[in-house]
Structure 1
Amino acid sequence: MAQLSVPRERIRASVDPFAAAISYPPVAAGSLSQPASSTALAASSAGSQWRRACDLFMNKAFDASAIRNSYREQCPMNLRHLEAFRAVMLSGSVTQAAQSLNLSQPAVSKMLAELEHQLGFQLFLRSRGSALTVTPEADAFFYEVERSFSGIAALKRVAEDIRNMATGTLRIAALPALAVSFLPRVIAAFRETHPGVTVQLQTRSSSTVRQWMANQQFDIGLATPARELPGISMERFLRCPGACVLPAGHRLAAKDVIRPADLEGEPFISLALEDGVRHRIDRIFEDAGVQREMVIETQYAMTICALVMQGVGCSILNPVTAADYAERGLTVRDFAPEVHFEYMLFTPKLRPMSQVAAAFIAVLVSHRDAMFGSDAG
């Protein structure tokens, strides 16, 4: 088969506009009136392609600003660039900087060059056989870099403190029965191992504590049981039998266990009507057919203890508060049949528990077990 003989220039022109323009220059203006041959048309088309290619090449390829912007987008400045620059500024040489960063000297030099491209100005003047010369721009930039690294160091310290629970704030809300006597001991023990943690303790009624916890205002809440509330995790913290408290030298002090019949006709200081335990105590005496002399009703157990110590009467209340006042001379005895006091531990459900709160709860449970036994929870 015979082979077609096509000039090499014609083949190049079909795929390369630059080659086409060289092989077939633009047609002269006067020749446009003449019938266009296939060769002339090809040359004219190639010339147009040449002009467009030159415009694109000159506008884009040699646009220094576009080149710099493209490079910055492809090689964004990062912390490693700044670390390399800072190491050179502090050590005075690329070699020592590379050693301090455990990198090779070429790697540090490359990062410096990338950083200079990113910044758009020169950081060092380089000359063969002499040390780097720091530019005034580098001095100004180094001042801000040092400020940034100081901030990073501070962040690292804060993160370490948070990780080690050496700092932070713990917000606790509790009813008086636990806040006045029990919690101070727990907080003191907790701060021995976490001295940097600030503890905020608010003492309110159980209903207020539960409402605060539902509003996610506190990390830990201790209060009496209630129906399930939205936004709160609730678990039993302490369930313990009540104790009978008597004035010092009372006729019943010789007994180990006080029973309802023993309190027949005795002046009695009772919990307030809104306290759920009050109704259970009243039912015990009603079932036993015992009449007490109700002299005072009050809301808080610590107020009852103070009144009993003054000889106003006797009472039955939670053993946590009773044990605290026993150290001050209050007589505390077991009471039968048992009437239980129950307290719940509340935590917010809508946000995760902090490490500090978890550590405090561990101390809280440890003190509870030491005081009442592990089965008290």
Structure 2
Amino acid sequence: MERPELPLPQLHAFVVLAEELHFGHAAARLGIAQPPLSQQIRRLEDKVGHALFSRRPGQVALTPAGRELLPAARRALADLASGLAAARAIGSGRAGRLRIGFAASLALTVLPGLLHTFRQRFPDVHLDIQEMTTAPQITALRDKTIDIGLVREPSPEADLGFKTVLREPFVAVLPAAHPLAAQRTVKLADLADLPFVLLPRAVGPQLYDQITGLCVGAGFTPRIAQHAVEWQTVCALVKTGLGVSLAPASIRRIRLEGVAFRTIAPDTARTRVAVAWRRNDENPLIGHLLATVSQEAPGGD
């Protein structure tokens, strides 16, 4: 028959007595009287089945069994202390793992500042950063494979919360050699007869509809010649002359040679960037990230 597990209070008493080798000193260190300490040691010896200390007048010493148990007892107490500290840190949100999805273009705007501030406040939190477009982020949030998403133009979702980080204007993306690139401002109607390069609707339905809606508002339906999943690829395809595009203004930071970015007129449309999370998620790190978002973008909703 297996012996019962050794209770931690008895192991603690054993380790202290092994270090002090004096019942009076060990009892004082433990904050108890000598009789309870003696009882703890006797109960532990009963469980082990052997004496752990030899007791002689004025002398206490570890037996061979006691010397064998001491390293394991110390490890058990250290593991418990480490586990308790880790549990407290994770429970309070001072440590743990936070999985964040982000749209690639946001690496050019809000993501660096947000992560820098968060890491300064919570250096012991491991951040798992995953690049993905908006629609896959929404799926990943529902599948619980990410904890936070940084998305563009999210549609309302009952089980998800959204907080606006910023609203940025659109720009026209043109080949640098195109005649329109010679202008500082481009009217949307000037793009009516040109082929377009856009992200597929499936990767960001709301943003896709917003861009095509802007074109419809200017009196034309965009003729889409090519799709590309990432904005950097969109710009590269524009450079080759496959078409033009409308994109969030942060795309300017790509600075791809041979591509021109021009303000559009009227310059009233804005694309919304938001942080997304599961409303019923109890991970305290999510709350800390949202507080950091409020600090970085106090005007968000």
TM-score range, shorter chain: 0.7 to 0.9
Q: Structure 1 residues 212 and 180, CA, compared in 2 at 3 Å: closer, same or farther?
A: farther
Aligned pairs (5 A) from 1:13-52: none
Please tell me the residue identity of whatever aligns with 1:242.
Answer: P
8 Å contact kept, 2:105–2:250: yes
Aligned counterparts of 1:300 and 1:125: Cα–Cα separation in 2: 75
Partner of residue 333 from structure 1, selected from 243, 258, 263: 263
Residue by residue, what CA displacement relative to the aligned partner does 1:75-126 show, whole Å, maximum 9, x if unpaired? x963322222111101111122122222333332333234334444333333
Matched, 1:196 2:127: no
Partner Cα separation in structure 1 for residue 224 and residue 98 of structure 2: 41
Paired with 2:112 and 2:142, the residues of 1 have a C-alpha distance of: 24
Q: Secondary structure at the match of 2:75?
A: helix
What SS class does the counterpart of residue 195 from structure 1 fall into?
Answer: coil
* Secondary structure, aligned partner of 1:242: strand
Cα distance change of structure 1 residues 327 and 182 upon mapping to structure 2, 3 Å threshold: farther
Please state how far the C-alpha of 1:316 moved relative to its aligned partner: 2.6
Instruction: Answer 1 or 2: which has greater strand percent.
Output: 2
Where do 1:229-244 residues align within 5 Å?
A: 232-238=159-165, 240-244=167-171
* Higher RCO, 1 vs 2 (CA within 8 Å, ≥6 residues apart): 2
| CA shift in 2, pair 1:203/1:335, >3 Å | farther
AA paired with 1:190? F
Does structure 1 conserve the Cα–Cα contact (< 8 Å) formed by 2:195 and 2:222?
yes
* Aligned-pair Cα RMSD in Å: 3.8
CA distance in 2, matches of 1:319, 1:306: 16
- Seen in structure 2, the aligned counterparts of structure 1 residues 326 and 358 have a Cα distance that, compared at 3 Å, is farther
Quick one: distance in 1 between partners of 2:74 and 2:289?
A: 38
After TM superposition, give the deviation of residue 179 of structure 1 in Å.
4.8
User: Which protein has the bigger helix share?
Assistant: 1
Give the one of 27, 35, 38 matched to 1:106: 35
Runs of at least 4 residues of structure 1 off by over 6 A?
A: 290-295, 309-313, 326-329
For the residue of structure 1 that corresponds to 2:118, the secondary structure is helix
| Distance in 2 between residues matched to 1:351 and 1:293, nearest whole Å | 42
Same amino acid, percent of matched pairs: 19
CA drift of 1:243 comes to 2.0
Q: Partner amino acid for 1:112? A: I
Greater Cα radius of gyration, structure 1 or 2: 1
Given that 1:271 and 1:300 are in contact with CA atoms closer than 8 Å, whether structure 2 keeps it comes out as: no
Q: Structure 1: give runs of 5+ residues left out of the alignment.
A: 1-72
**Does 1:357 find its partner at 2:277?**
no
Identify which of 77, 86, 95 aligns with 2:15: 86
Counterpart residue type for residue 366 of structure 1: Q
Contact (CA 8 Å) 2:197, 2:242: kept in 1 or not? no
- Alignment of 1:124 onto 2:53: yes
In the alignment, which residue of structure 2 is the partner of 1:252?
Answer: 183
TM-score (norm 1): 0.62
Unpaired runs of at least 5, structure 2: none
Secondary structure of residue in 2 paired with 1:346 = strand
Instruction: Check conservation: 1:236, 1:342, Cα contact below 8 A.
Output: no
Kept after mapping to 1: 8 A contact 2:102/2:150: yes
Q: Which amino acid aligns with 1:159?
A: A
Check 1:188–1:245 CA distance in 2 against 1; reply closer, same or farther (3 A cut): farther
Match of 1:170 in 2: 98
Residues of 2 paired with 1:168 and 1:346: CA distance? 19
Q: Is the 8 A contact 2:294 2:300 kept in 1?
A: no
The code of the aligned residue for 1:237 comes to T
The answer to whether the Cα contact below 8 Å between 1:260 and 1:285 also exists between their aligned partners in 2 is yes
Quote the offset at 1:218 in angstroms: 1.3
Name the amino acid aligned to 1:106: P
Is the contact between residue 285 and residue 291 of structure 1 (CA under 8 Å) also seen in structure 2? yes
Q: Give, in angstroms, the shift of residue 236 of structure 1.
A: 4.0
2:42 alignment partner, SS class: helix
Report how many aligned residue pairs link the two structures. 290
